[in-house]
Amino acid sequence: MPISFELTDNSIRAREHFNRIAQEQMRPLSREADTGEHHLPQPWVDFWWNEGRKGAPGNPGEPGDGFVTVCIQAEELCWGDAGLYLRMPTAALGGSAVGAAGTDEQKKKFMAPFRESPHPVWGAMAITEPGAGSDSAAIETTADFDEETEEWVLNGTKIFCTAGEGASQVEGGFVVVWATIDASAGRGGIKSFVVPAKTPGMELVGLEKKMGIRASDTATLRFENCRVPRENLLGSAEVKGKKKKPGGDKGFKGAMATFDASRPIVAAMAVGVGRASLDFLKEELERQGVEIRYDAPLHALTAIERDVIEMEAELQGARLLTWRSAQMMGQGKPNNLEASMAKAKAGLAVTQITQKAVEILGPLGQSKKLLVEKWMRDAKINDIFEGTQQINQLIVARRILDYSSSLLR
């Protein structure tokens, strides 16, 4: 059966729409937002909430094509500015977690402000801790059930929480917090809880100073006797076959399914940043009279020509893997392997492409008069968050070889 790599008319219109936003709204703010870390880019936030999010063509809910369009949006907007993309008022990863593991009632309740609020709101997910990064089984934040009040009581600290400031401080938003209800059960005891913004006991204790994506807020959140209702648990409270308290029908696996949706988006973000660097490099080379001869034999190409052609191939490979995993997600097909392949490929490709662009351009590439050095700084996080390069390669190996996590570590 032949495979088509042609976009639908809906996706093409979406690409053009989001590219205009990237050019007209994001690029002009890019340098200012980068140097003004921890300052809310209000013009961009207001634009997205009032106009940008409502003007997208097509229906993102369409089977298959809809999620590809989500990834096209991520690519185009990160071509504009990855930090501003992450600062958009959206449900983001928190919303993905609710969608993956929440009940219909939970989805309706927690997602309503993102449709109805008169002011911008944010969602976030809090997983990483000072002692628990890629190994989710090492999570130490606890959630204890209070039988008398029928509330979950959260205690612990979360770091590197993207959009954590907005999600924890602005009414209508929420943070999805991963915590253990039974430390002896390892991963089986890890559950996720929706903590609405301004909940007593959830404290914003710091914002990271970062190398890249500086326009985004990356927060440290502390939970001290933070109480949420029983129904704020996403999924089941069952551990090792015994129920602690009633919950939904999905537990840790349901929460982990969040990454099958988020990894293609992160891969698309990487493609967007890589494309920004490559586009500028090709424009600058053309301006200087350097021609890329695509029809010349390999031995006749200059070093720069070979580099540019290789960069283009790596970028296109990452994009096609991303679209493939996105289409599977949109069609309801398991895409755990494909999502990790796309994420691993794109994270590596964007790191290499942006570094090579700076290298080829020399002093011009390092100058802050241009955005090339910024794109190199923005690139690396795509190889780290939503599962590091090493973790995603490990997942790919496990899926291909059919090995469990205990057999291949």
The pLDDT tens digits of the residues spanning 381-399 come to 999 998 888 988 999 999 9
Interstrand relation of 142-146 and 238-239 (parallel, antiparallel or unpaired): unpaired
Name the pLDDT band for 218 (thresholds 50, 70, 90). very high
- Asked if 36 contacts 90 with a C-beta cutoff of 8 angstroms, the reply is no
186 sits in the region (left: phi over 0; alpha: psi -120 to 50; else beta) called left
Task: For residues 42 and 134, state if they share a domain.
Answer: no
Whether 197 maps to a domain, the answer reads: yes
Task: For residues 278 and 324, state if they share a domain.
Answer: yes
Task: For residues 317 and 200, state if they share a domain.
Answer: no
pLDDT of residue 2: 52
Calculate the dihedral angle through the C-alpha atoms of 221, 225, 230, 234, rounding to the nearest 10 degrees: 20
pLDDT of residue 269: 97
Whether 136 maps to a domain, the answer reads: yes
Between the two ends of the chain, the Cα-to-Cα distance in Å is: 36
In the three-class reduction of DSSP (H, G, I as helix; E, B as strand; rest coil), residue 176 is classed as strand
List beta partners, residue 267.
none
Q: Kindly calculate the radius of gyration of the chain based on its CA atoms and give it in whole angstroms.
A: 22
Q: State the Cα–Cα distance between residues 267 and 105, nearest whole angstrom.
A: 31
Q: Which of 235, 252, 269 is the last residue of a domain?
A: 252
Task: For residues 79 and 112, state if they share a domain.
Answer: no
Q: Which residues are catalytic?
A: 386
Mean pLDDT of 288-313: 94
- The whole-model pTM stands at 0.91
Q: Which of 252, 286, 302 is the last residue of a domain?
A: 252
Q: Give the angle subtended at the CA of 45 by the CAs of 42 and 49, to the nearest 5°.
A: 140
66 or 113, higher pLDDT: 113
- Asked if 346 contacts 323 with a C-beta cutoff of 8 angstroms, the reply is no
- Asked if 266 contacts 213 with a C-beta cutoff of 8 angstroms, the reply is no
Q: State the Cα–Cα distance between residues 216 and 207, nearest whole angstrom.
A: 10
Q: Which of 42, 74, 90 is the last residue of a domain?
A: 90
Mean confidence (pLDDT) of the chain: 90
Q: Over 70: is that where the pLDDT of 326 sits?
A: yes
135 or 282, higher pLDDT: 282
pLDDT of residue 59: 44
Task: For residues 156 and 64, state if they share a domain.
Answer: no
Whether 2 maps to a domain, the answer reads: no
Q: Over 60: is that where the pLDDT of 251 sits?
A: no
158 or 8, higher pLDDT: 158
Q: Which one-letter DSSP state was computed for residue 162?
A: E
Task: For residues 171 and 79, state if they share a domain.
Answer: no
Whether 276 maps to a domain, the answer reads: yes
Q: Over 90: is that where the pLDDT of 237 sits?
A: no
Whether 1 maps to a domain, the answer reads: no
Task: Report the half-sphere exposure of 19 (CA within 13 A, side-chain side).
Answer: 10
Whether 4 maps to a domain, the answer reads: no
Biggest CA pair distance of the chain: 78
Task: For residues 51 and 121, state if they share a domain.
Answer: no
Q: List pLDDT tens digits, range 301-319.
A: 999 999 999 999 999 999 9
Task: For residues 189 and 304, state if they share a domain.
Answer: no
Task: For residues 234 and 379, state if they share a domain.
Answer: no
Mean pLDDT of 254-268: 84
Task: For residues 267 and 376, state if they share a domain.
Answer: yes
Mean pLDDT of 280-287: 96
Give the count of domains, the chain: 3
Task: For residues 248 and 266, state if they share a domain.
Answer: no
| Residue 112 structural domain | 98-252
Mean pLDDT of 138-154: 96
pLDDT of residue 259: 85
Helices (H), 231-331: 252-256, 258-287, 303-330
Interstrand relation of 174-180 and 123-126 (parallel, antiparallel or unpaired): parallel
Query: What phi, psi does 29 have (nearest 5°)?
Result: -95, -5
Name the pLDDT band for 354 (thresholds 50, 70, 90). very high
Residues 6+ apart with CB under 8 A from 278: 308, 311, 312, 315, 353, 357
61 or 41, higher pLDDT: 41
Q: State the Cα–Cα distance between residues 144 and 242, nearest whole angstrom.
A: 16
Task: For residues 224 and 343, state if they share a domain.
Answer: no
Q: Give the angle subtended at the CA of 273 by the CAs of 219 and 34, to the nearest 5°.
A: 45
Whether 3 maps to a domain, the answer reads: no
Instruction: Tell me the CATH number at 102.
Output: 2.40.110.10
The amino acid occupying position 121 is V
Whether 42 maps to a domain, the answer reads: yes
- Asked if 181 contacts 255 with a C-beta cutoff of 8 angstroms, the reply is no
pLDDT of residue 169: 97
243 or 80, higher pLDDT: 80
Residue 154 in tokens: 């959260």
Q: Over 60: is that where the pLDDT of 193 sits?
A: yes
